[in-house]
Amino acid sequence: MSFELYDETDFEAVRHLLPDSVMEMVGLIGAEPTLALLRAYGGTTFPVSCNVKRAGQATHAALAEVVGEQAADKLCRAFGQRQRLWLPKCERAVRELLHRKIRRQFDELVSRDNMTAFWAVQNLAQCHHLTDRTVWDILKKTDNAPPPESRQISLL
């Protein structure tokens, strides 16, 4: 699973499932460059340099190729002292996006294409390389939404 098939809108929908480090990057360079970085290097430690020595320039160029020169400069200024930037795979968020997609596709197959639930599940299981039981389990659940903001005032 990866962010390959998802866009910035999907990314925003599951921001409550993203690690703080990813949200820090989103605040720094924006959602689209962060998403591009996770697509390219998610699950790895990326060396961040200050673009001074030859190896650092090569690393910076590789980073700039993915996120753009301006975003690469911002990342180097923010994380250059650490020398390494851990880029998580964001499995919870990716899994949630897949589950939402499967539920949406199921609804389309049943309502628009007049397919029975049984055949829709068989189709989705094959399409997503899952078992039919897993698809049924996904369909039983609702979207993992962010917790509602509490409107209750504190008693203390």
Co-location of 33 and 84 in the same domain: yes
| Total domains, the chain | 2
Range of the domain at 110: 92-140
Co-location of 32 and 76 in the same domain: yes
Tokens of 14: 């599951």
Give the whole-number percent of the chain exceeding pLDDT 70. Answer: 89
Backbone dihedral region for residue 51 (phi beyond 0: left; psi -120 to 50: alpha; all else: beta)? left
Co-location of 115 and 53 in the same domain: no
Give DSSP secondary structure letters for 41-77.
HTTEEEE---S-SHHHHHHHHHHHHHH-HHHHHHHHH
Tell me the pLDDT of the chain averaged across its residues: 88
CB 12 within 8 A of CB 47: no
Co-location of 84 and 54 in the same domain: yes
Q: What residues have CB less than 8 Å from 29, skipping those under 6 apart?
A: 67, 71, 74, 75
Looking at residue 9, what is its pLDDT?
84
Residue 27 is assigned to a structural domain of this protein = yes
Residue 148 is assigned to a structural domain of this protein = no
Co-location of 40 and 81 in the same domain: yes
Whole-model pTM: value is 0.77
Looking at residue 51, what is its pLDDT?
65
The Cα 151–Cα 142 span in angstroms is 23
Determine how many CB atoms are found less than 10 A away from the CB of residue 48.
22
**Band of residue 103 on the pLDDT scale cut at 50, 70, 90:** very high
Residue the block writes with tokens 């389990």: 137
Residue 124 is assigned to a structural domain of this protein = yes
What would the pLDDT profile of 11-42 be if each residue is shown by its tens digit? 888 989 999 999 999 999 998 999 999 999 99
What would the pLDDT profile of 125-136 be if each residue is shown by its tens digit? 999 999 999 999
Co-location of 98 and 50 in the same domain: no
What would the pLDDT profile of 104-127 be if each residue is shown by its tens digit? 999 999 999 999 999 999 999 999
Residue 49 is assigned to a structural domain of this protein = yes
